[in-house]
A = this chain, B = another copy of it.
Amino acid sequence: MKAKAKSDETRARILAAAMELFQRQGFEETTMREIAAAAGVATGAAYYYFDSKDAIVLAFYDQSQQEMEPLLDAALASARNLKGRVGALLEVKLQYFEPNRRLLGTLAAHADPEHRLSPFSAQTEEMRKRDMQFFERALTGSRIRVNSELGQHLPRILWMYQMGVILFWIFDRSAAQRRTRLLVEKSLGIIVRLIQISEFPLLRPVRRMVVDLVETVMSD
């Protein structure tokens, strides 16, 4: 038991040292040798605990997801309508990641699902599933009812929307990322409105086309 704890502690120390250096001087400007030295271990040790420099960022992301779960629970409890619920989820994430906003860009660079560090890869599937459940709860706990086949796809669609917002935010260079806040405010309104009117008879053809599209794209 001693060893496990010590190993965990070393790993945590390396991760913490890396995050502080990344935050202070940026990802590219920080070397693995610096990280190891700051953590008080040899260069090779960092590679014993992390597959690569990028993998450290993924570990941070993973840790963040766990730490955010109670905050996301609270966010869902704070509002009843869909716009408020999804908006609260997004606000938690943006606030949590704020100190490391630039750092997430290194993850965004891996859109390739083949890449281990991609948010779309098989390795990150577990995280993805858990994350989508919050959007499922955002929907089921709201007053909106979607009876058509569109309903079952909405959690995934909202999750994808979230990924787009975060990507926009990472590269948003406006002061305090105000543009992202505007984007969220306005786009959420559109999405909720679209979901509401999606059951109108007039939009039935479009709705079916969208469902068809989503099912095609998601199929393996």
Contact = CB atoms under 8 A, between A and B. Distances in A.
Contacts of A109: 109-111
Report whether over half of chain A's contact residues are helix, strand or loop; otherwise say mixed. Answer: helix
Contacts of A186: 209, 212-213, 216
A105 interface: yes
Contact of A217 (B112, B179, B190, B200): B179
A193 interface: yes
Nearest to A120: B171
Interface string A189-213: 1100110010010100110011011
Interface string A151-170: 00000000000000001101
Contacts of A183: 213, 216-217
A26 interface: no
A171 B213 contact: no
A183 to B, nearest CB: 6
Interface of A: 105, 108-114, 167-168, 170-171, 173, 179, 182-183, 186-187, 189-190, 193-194, 197, 200, 202, 205-206, 209-210, 212-213, 216-217, 219
